[in-house]
Chain A
Amino acid sequence: MKPAPFDYHAPRQLKEAAELLAKLPNAKVLAGGQSLVPMMNFRYLIVDHLVDLGGLDELRGIAVGDGLLRIGAMTSQRDLESSADVARHCPLMAEALRHVGHRQTRNRGTIGGSLAHADPAAELPAVCAAYDATIHAASVRGIRQIPFREFGTGFMTTALAPDEMIAAVDLPIWRLGHGHGFHEFARRQGDFAIAGAAALLDIGADNVVRRAVLALFGVTASPLRVEAAEARLTGQPLDAGAIRAAAAAAWLIEPISDIHAGGEYRRHLAQVLSSRALNDAARRAGIQA
């Protein structure tokens, strides 16, 4: 299973990378390669030019400021896993990373690569959906911001233009003390999720929910925010009944079916995992629901 021939380019700066992407025909960006290269080895993908972003240190880094966690696209999942900033300000991501592939793939896999590849069952896109992240997309035309809600446009398709690459992603930080919950069901440790749920809860006085997020992944083409569940929870005191009702809203999705699982099973898992994620978020926010 050897890939088809291609020309390899190793730019040193973002500007150079953008120019290469704009002018080379049938060119693809190489980030960590953990999703791209298997497709090339299977020859599911024939690429004429590979633009390796590995030399672009300017695209690596994690910074906190202005209420945002800003992550460079080429930051490895391993670096995210061991980042104190991520653990403190985005505990949902820290938890999600435990389920992302295996150590070997996290060493080289990047957040930008995972977001651009947009596998429905991937964990990092779900985290970005939960946080209403903003994608910074770079091309010869400059940098534009894409709200994450608009980023996934279909099955493994994004709003990126063919000559655009992700440069960075911003996640608005929630108040310290918010609760998070992350549950996925996969056949084996490190496998892509058959279904997963990510929950965030900001609880105020009298156990009233100030803000609630429930994002599902693995069940639809792109991560899905369950707005009905969020509406059900927001502004109400949080108790077991509220969580049950919110999780039940997860039943109302249109799930995908494939050789790994049928739609009905995914629907069932969505409900079960939503309940577990919300319960964890409640507990971490200091509530025994």
Chain B
Amino acid sequence: MGAKHFGARVKRLEDPALLTGHGRFVDDVKLPGALHACFVRSPHAHAKLVSIDSKFAMIMPGVHAVIAAADLPEPMRADPLPMLLPNPALSAARTQHALAREEVCYVGQPVAVVIAETRYIAEDAAAALIVQYEVLAAVADCRRAAEEGAARAHGDLPSNIASTFRLTYGDTDAAFADAAHVFTEGLWQHRGGGMAIETRAVLVSHDPVVDLLTVWSATQTPHIGRRTLADLLGRDLQSIRMIAPDVGGGFGPKAIFYPEEAVIPAAALKLGRPVKWIEDRREHFLCATQERDQYWEVAIAVDADGKIRGLRGRMLHDTGAFVPWGIVLPYIAASTVPGPYVVPAYRLETSVVFTNKVPTTPVRGAGRPQAVFAMERLLDRVARELNLDRAEVRHRNLIQPEQMPYEVGLLFRDGKPLVYDSGDYPRGQEKALALGEYESFRERQKAALDQGRFIGIGLANYVEGTGLGPFEGVTVRILPSGKVAVATGATNQGQGTRTTLSQIVADHVGCRLEDIVMTIGDTAAIAQGVGAFASRQAVNAGSSALVAGQAVRKQLIALAARTLAVPEYDIDLEDGQATSRRGNKPSISFGDLARLAQGIPGVSLPPGQAAGIEHTAYYTPSQAAYCSGTHVAEVQVDAMTGGVKILRYTVAHDAGRVINPLIVDGQVQGGVAHGIGNALFEWMQYDANAQPLTTSFADYMLPTATDVPTCTIAHVETVNPLNPLGVKGAGEGGTIPAPAAIISAIEDALSPFGVHFAETPLTPERIVAAMRAAGAYERLFAA
């Protein structure tokens, strides 16, 4: 059976509609009679909510309602949003209420919502709401929050510690005790966000005739959202339909269930009219979950030849005011540190601390960039101290392909032992170095120096657990029209889900891509679903598409064989036709087969014939699928201004078998852009009272077209033995090692001055400050 679409650079089915302005994002959905919402949010990072007076708001023309916590239905009013990822290591599993009841814990926390004829009027009325607060002490810095006597992020909790946990294997004491060398680094990664260009959005309509609540949400996880909403409203699952239509970028923050996704449905039910809420960008800066803000103190013990004996340290993670996704994010970071290296002993103590900021949850990379930063900066240190080439140090420590499957010694966040299923790390590094012309770089560097230019090169490796469970489903059904209907719980925020799944289905079912009618992200289309996060859809939905496609293929062939009276092995399926290879090549269309499979009223189906031609598969992975890769960054630094330009960026990327190289390359390139943002630009700043300072795109810098070069990408395909497609996830590999590679390159460029860097984003100002402290400008200004 030809795999003519798998592995091909198939052009995306999603594109034509999006290019002609016919995408359908939540705000594009127009429901007659819809009202519009504006949330009123706490201006204080920590306060008691004393009272809300809506009288001036309610008398404004066009205002329909002001809803506060007291107006919400049970159990939404009393119960906090559910904790989706419980963990025994969580001592305070705090989540927020849909609308704050007594205490607000971060600037932007919603306290009420105004519903009006237009968003314009709703904002006017929101400004007229009188909300009384009693301001409480707020804690902004997680280092401070972890100390005794710090102001408490939650008034009723005994401390700000949400969780402490240790990940360890081997004997680190012994490893460090007689190591030839021990090096320590303190590292700091600042807060940032996913910052999709489309903000969050919720539109709700209630049909009282069938008591169906339809919710459109710019979410990555509509099935989870539906379940959560059902619990909060005390309704049956069947009475809610959640649809994720076109979604303008996800990157993690849209996988979370937010208070607004509960309050807007409550408002629609209360008012008996559709209600729409489109988040604005300032709200997004305040309330969409963020990432990073971790402090690491780590030490590495090595032999005289740079071989790792052990690694240990502490990590402090700022989780913000709540833990909607538990401790998944710091846990992933802590378990990612060993990476592709043989680390005989490991111990990391992690403290997860509450502060009065918006919560942190996984954003593209999900804690791994921080872990890779720690490991890679330590290896750079080893190289420098032992006067070894940085690539050589890594090479000496890489896990070899013959060691696969490789048991790291930890449990991964999926609850399973961290076992790398496949991978060829030395080959990946070698490929990246060759493509990035690492060997000849010293000549380029010297030539540049002669011209007064400072260029540098850096590399970094990573391993990433992708394809996480619990499952994802695909239904494939042949319609009487001959079209192939596909439904999946997988969703799409730009990763081309429709195209990649169509490629798989078309290959196995034997239809054309254009004959597939796919429903994505709609809870009405398939009973169970999980959604997009952790680079899991290619593995899970892809595998389900394969299983369902193969099952439908079998059914088509069996029925065609019976109907055409030829043996099954004579049947070919192509372009929606089942054709026998023999004789005068009798043929029957898929549509006709589908009709036959419906039978005749009152007449039994022939033996062996099932009802319809369809199959639903829910692939459940046994464990994560481990991707890996190597990045090589070449940069130029303006030593006088600290300005950094990325000259060249090379990636060797192993995501197992590649379904569509066009799409995978796009994911890597897009991921690198996020990595460049993390490394050089993106810093969500707060003041000492946990007031956010960067709340617009003018202050929070996203990389633009002149900041992100086109990467050279090489694919290393080590087949994943654990799923039928052999694929791994590809969404985050572009981001994970990028900050480490870029900072390493900047240090290399400025090596004549001996400056070192341990935090991101590495701004020009920080570079200049380091240069000044190292006395660099005495030399440079004299020149």
Contact = CB atoms under 8 A, between A and B. Distances in A.
Touching chains A and B, CB distance < 8 Å: yes
Interface of A: 1-2, 4-5, 42-43, 185, 187-192, 244, 259-262, 264-265, 268-269, 272-273
Given A2-B120, A259-B694, A261-B765, A188 B704 contact: yes
B640 A262 contact: no
Interface residues of B, number: 32
Nearest to A244: B781
Residue of A5, A42, A272 ringed by the most chain B CB atoms within 10 A: A272
Nearest to A183: B641
Contact of B641 (A42, A189, A264, A272): A272
16 contacts: A1-B123, A2-B119, A2-B123, A42-B282, A188-B706, A190-B704, A191-B698, A244-B781, A259-B693, A261-B765, A262-B765, A264-B769, A265-B769, A268-B772, A268-B777, A269-B641
B640 A272 contact: yes
Contact of A185 (B281, B641, B703, B704): B641
A274 B281 CA distance: 37
A191 B696 CA distance: 13
A108 B32 CA distance: 35
Nearest to A266: B765
Given A5-B124, A265-B765, A273-B641, 19 more contacts: A1-B123, A4-B124, A43-B123, A185-B641, A185-B643, A187-B701, A187-B764, A188-B681, A188-B701, A188-B704, A188-B707, A189-B704, A192-B698, A244-B781, A259-B693, A259-B699, A260-B699, A261-B765, A268-B777
Contacts of A4: 124, 127
B685 A259 contact: yes
Interface in B199-227: none
A50 B159 CA distance: 52
Contacts of B123: 1-2, 43
A273 B764 CA distance: 14
Nearest to B687: A259
B643 to A, nearest CB: 7
A101 B781 CA distance: 31
Contacts of B707: 188
Residue of A1, A5, A189 ringed by the most chain B CB atoms within 10 A: A1
A188 B763 CA distance: 12
B768 interface: yes
A268 B772 CA distance: 10
Residue of B123, B698, B765 ringed by the most chain A CB atoms within 10 A: B765
A1 B693 CA distance: 18
B694 A265 contact: no
Interface of B: 119-120, 123-124, 127, 280-282, 640-643, 681, 685, 693-694, 696, 698-699, 701, 703-704, 706-707, 763-765, 768-769, 772, 777, 781
Nearest to A276: B640
Q: Pick the 9 closest A-B CB pairs, nearest first.
A: A1-B280, A265-B765, A2-B120, A272-B640, A189-B706, A185-B641, A259-B693, A2-B123, A188-B704
A185 B124 contact: no
A261 to B, nearest CB: 5
B641 A1 contact: no
Nearest to A187: B701
A185 B764 contact: yes
Contacts of B701: 187-188, 191
B262 to A, nearest CB: 23
Contacts of A5: 120, 124
B281 A187 contact: no
A192 B696 CA distance: 14
Contact of B768 (A188, A191, A192, A265): A265
Contacts of B127: 4, 43
Contacts of B703: 188
Contacts of A272: 640-641
Contacts of A259: 685, 693-694, 699
B482 to A, nearest CB: 47
A195 to B, nearest CB: 9
Residue of A5, A42, A188, A244 ringed by the most chain B CB atoms within 10 A: A188
A187 B532 CA distance: 33
Contacts of A192: 698
Nearest to B642: A265
A195 B424 CA distance: 48
Contacts of A188: 681, 701, 703-704, 706-707
Nearest to B122: A2
A241 to B, nearest CB: 12
A236 to B, nearest CB: 20
Nearest to A265: B765
Nearest to A268: B768
Contacts of B124: 4-5
Nearest to B281: A1
A260 B706 CA distance: 20
Nearest to B643: A185
Nearest to B681: A187
A192 to B, nearest CB: 8
A97 to B, nearest CB: 17
Given A43-B127, A188-B701, A188-B704, A1 B765 contact: no
B519 to A, nearest CB: 34
B692 to A, nearest CB: 11
Contacts of A185: 641, 643, 764
A188 to B, nearest CB: 5
B116 to A, nearest CB: 11
A191 B763 CA distance: 15
B638 to A, nearest CB: 9
B282 A1 contact: yes
A218 B281 CA distance: 26
Contacts of A269: 641
Contacts of B643: 185
A246 to B, nearest CB: 14
Nearest to A4: B124
Residue of A189, A261, A269 ringed by the most chain B CB atoms within 10 A: A269
Contacts of A1: 123, 280-282
Nearest to B641: A185
Nearest to B777: A268
Residue of A259, A262, A264 ringed by the most chain B CB atoms within 10 A: A259
Nearest to B707: A188
A194 to B, nearest CB: 8
A190 B704 CA distance: 10
Nearest to B705: A189
A185 B123 CA distance: 38
A262 B763 CA distance: 12
Contacts of A268: 768, 772, 777
Contacts of A261: 765
Nearest to B703: A188
Nearest to B780: A272
Contacts of A260: 699
Contacts of B699: 259-260
A289 B681 CA distance: 36
A2 B120 CA distance: 6
Residue of A5, A185, A262 ringed by the most chain B CB atoms within 10 A: A185
Contacts of A244: 781
Contacts of A264: 769
Contacts of A2: 119-120, 123
A23 B466 CA distance: 66
B700 to A, nearest CB: 10
A9 B777 CA distance: 55
Contacts of B642: 265
Nearest to B701: A187
Contacts of A187: 681, 701, 763-764
